[in-house]
Structure 1
Amino acid sequence: MPAAGPLGGAVEVLPATDGLRTAARFRVEDTETVLPGHYPGFPIFPGVCLVECTHQGALATLPAEAKGAALAAVESTRFTGPVFPGDELEIAMEWKRTPAGDWQCRAKLATGRGPAASVRLRYALAEVAA
């Protein structure tokens, strides 16, 4: 059974330019269940949903060397513009290996109006049982 999450729709993975630069897209339908309670009368897609869109896009585009990695930390978020019902959210992700051996996903999210957020997530490989 899949885990519950705040998104009603699915994150669409887009063709990657290379293994370390990936992209995804999410359309914010006016039927998203989080919208009615997030500023009633003036719905805005919540920041936690932007992080979840990034996480889902990241899981779907993990570099081959990172397959099986799990979210270890939300390292940073910065929300720079509102996301409204009807917006198409573009998620551009860049992957890099950290000195500790984890994988970092740096994402820029934007709508047709411009930047919406930047999100940095860290993924760790599972410990190998000895």
Structure 2
Amino acid sequence: MTTVPVAHRPVSPVAGPIEVVSPLADGRSGVRIVITPDEPVFAGHYPDFPIFPGVCILECAHQGALATAPEPVALTGVDSARFSGAVYPGDTLTIDLVWRRTEDGWQCRAAAATGNGPAASLRLRFATADGGAR
């Protein structure tokens, strides 16, 4: 029997597109996503009172970080995640990103908010294609 490798596309629980509103400049960038009522996660996450799950906010920050990274990177860890407010269908989630070079790659701090106030603060760790060597 011969096995053939199959290229897999990354799987995401978030269907909507991430829009870069502030390209990377001086270590800062910004993205946003409109959380539409037809996001697939709403089907099973409190059907009578849908709330965008925290893991989806984290995924939006991850996608936004990849879209604005200072160089090609890959997520290696979530150093912290603090969820402080709910995100509902119809909200626009904005995420401010701050990049900092570390000894072994990059750290990205993300502050997510809606028109109702803060939603989450996250610290993500990324490796570079060269493993962080400088």
Normalising by the residue count of structure 2, what TM-score does the alignment of the two structures yield? Answer: 0.87
Q: Which has the larger radius of gyration?
A: 2
Q: Do residues 97 (structure 1) and 101 (structure 2) align?
A: yes
- Rounded to whole Å, the distance in 2 between the matches of 1:96 and 1:127 is 17
Q: Distance in 2 between the 1:81 and 1:34 partners?
A: 18
State the alpha-carbon separation in 2 of the partners of residues 16 and 126 from structure 1. Answer: 21
Rounded to whole Å, the distance in 1 between the matches of 2:34 and 2:95 is: 11
Per the normalisation by structure 1, the TM-score is 0.90
| 1:6 maps to 2:6 | no
1:84 equivalent in alignment to 2:88: yes
* Alpha-carbon separation, structure 2, partners of 1:16 and 1:122: 19
Q: 1:17 to 1:6 in 2, by over 3 A?
A: closer
Identity across the alignment (%): 52
For structure 1, the residue ranges without an aligned partner over 5 or more in a row are: none
Equivalents in 1 of 2:115, 2:72: separation in Å? 33
Relative to structure 1, the CA distance from residue 22 to residue 33 in structure 2 (aligned partners, 3 Å threshold; closer, same or farther) is same
Question: Which residue of the partner structure matches residue 27 of structure 2?
Answer: 20
The alignment of Structure 1 onto Structure 2 pairs a total of residues equal to 124
Give the deviation of 1:19 after TM superposition.
4.1
Post-superposition shift, 1:101? 3.0
The 2-side partners of 1:111 and 1:68 are apart by 28
Spell out, residue by residue over 1:22-74, the C-alpha distance to the aligned partner (whole angstroms, 9 max, x if none).
000010000000012111200000000000000000001001xxx22210101
* Runs (5+) with no aligned partner, structure 2: 1-7
Closer/same/farther in 2, CA of residues 60 and 17 from structure 1, 3 Å limit? closer
